[in-house]
Structure 1
Amino acid sequence: MELGRKQLTVLLRIALGGVFLYAGVAKASNPTVFAGSVAAYQIFPYAGNYLVAAVVPWIELICGALLIVGWRSRTAAALAALLTMIFIVFLFSTVVRGLDIDCGCFRQGGQKTTAWTAIFRDLLLLSAAIFTFRKSRP
């Protein structure tokens, strides 16, 4: 069975939405631990880490849900692309500064994900978000 362009676009949109939904649930389930992951980046002041940990998971949840259901897909894809670009910049900053941290992307604790692995994964997600944005109806 051959997938058409439209079916491939829908499949990619739903997959991207699933990734963002999963990431949002993982972070929202324990915002205090996620705030610790944010603090490891050494970018925000103490209170800023908690603000980021309180807000980012909900943005990811909303983006993921909108992408999955296909409502406001373009807006959700644009926001997903923006978030992913920010994540890439923050991850790259840890490499430049010589910080050896776990990205805190999907799970808190457990096996560590290197910054380079996370950057590569985020570049794939960014490509999917841009593709979804371009192929979604305005």
Structure 2
Amino acid sequence: MNICVSAKTIVTHPWLALVFRLYIAGLFIYAGMYKINYTAEFAETIAGYRIAPYWSVNFMAIVMPWIELICGILLVCGIRVRSAIAVTGSLLVLFTVGIAVNLLRDSPISCGCFHTMDDAISWLTLARDLIWVAMAVHVFFYDAVFRMERKFDWFAKEI
């Protein structure tokens, strides 16, 4: 019984959530910066997934990297963490579903997560994304360390 309590304490610890939050933030900042620089290539990657309607591909290629970058910055700074991780987690679920669908289709496409010339998607890519989704869920429920919005509560109350 004591081991279960210790394991639960470690798994639900806010410092672990902070590590996960900073890890996911770094992923999204890096991925967003790359996609912002190579928007046309990212649009081709989105089109390769064959999930989004053709008329939305360019819009998604322009908007999605900025959402990733902004959410990553918010997570690093500790501002609106629950909102940022909810958006980030939703994007991760979207990416995971896209990878799963294309694995079932047996499409030889690259992930497009960090580079347009990545290796082809595999079941390991799907497992990696599922781990990231689990990290995002953990951050959503257990993050409580180094949140900047608490430093400015006095300002929000005056407004």
Sequence identity (%): 35
Partner residue in 1 for 2:22 = 14
From the CA coordinates, give the structure whose radius of gyration is larger: 2
Match of 1:49 among 54, 57, 60: 57
Match of 2:138 among 128, 131, 137: 131
Matched-pair contact (CA < 8 Å) for 2:100–2:126: yes
Match of 1:58 among 51, 66, 70: 66
Partner residue in 1 for 2:75 = 67
Deviation at 1:69, TM superposition (A): 0.6
Structure 1 segments unaligned to the other structure (5+ residues):
none
Matched-pair contact (CA < 8 Å) for 2:99–2:121: no
Q: Partners of 1:95 and 1:12 in 2: how far apart?
A: 27
Match of 2:92 among 79, 84, 87: 84
- 1:117 equivalent to 2:139? Answer no
Two-structure CA RMSD over aligned residues (Å):
1.6
Matched-pair contact (CA < 8 Å) for 1:33–1:108: yes
Instruction: Give the stretch that moved more between structures: 8-17 or 43-52.
Output: 43-52
Deviation at 1:47, TM superposition (A): 3.0
- 1:97 equivalent to 2:122? Answer no
The one-letter code of the counterpart of 2:101 is: S
Matched-pair contact (CA < 8 Å) for 2:108–2:120: no
Q: How many residues align?
A: 133
Q: Partners of 2:15 and 2:143 in 1: how far apart?
A: 12
Q: 1:51-93: per-residue Cα shift (whole Å, max 9, x none)? A: 1111111111111111111111111111111111111111111
Deviation at 1:13, TM superposition (A): 1.0
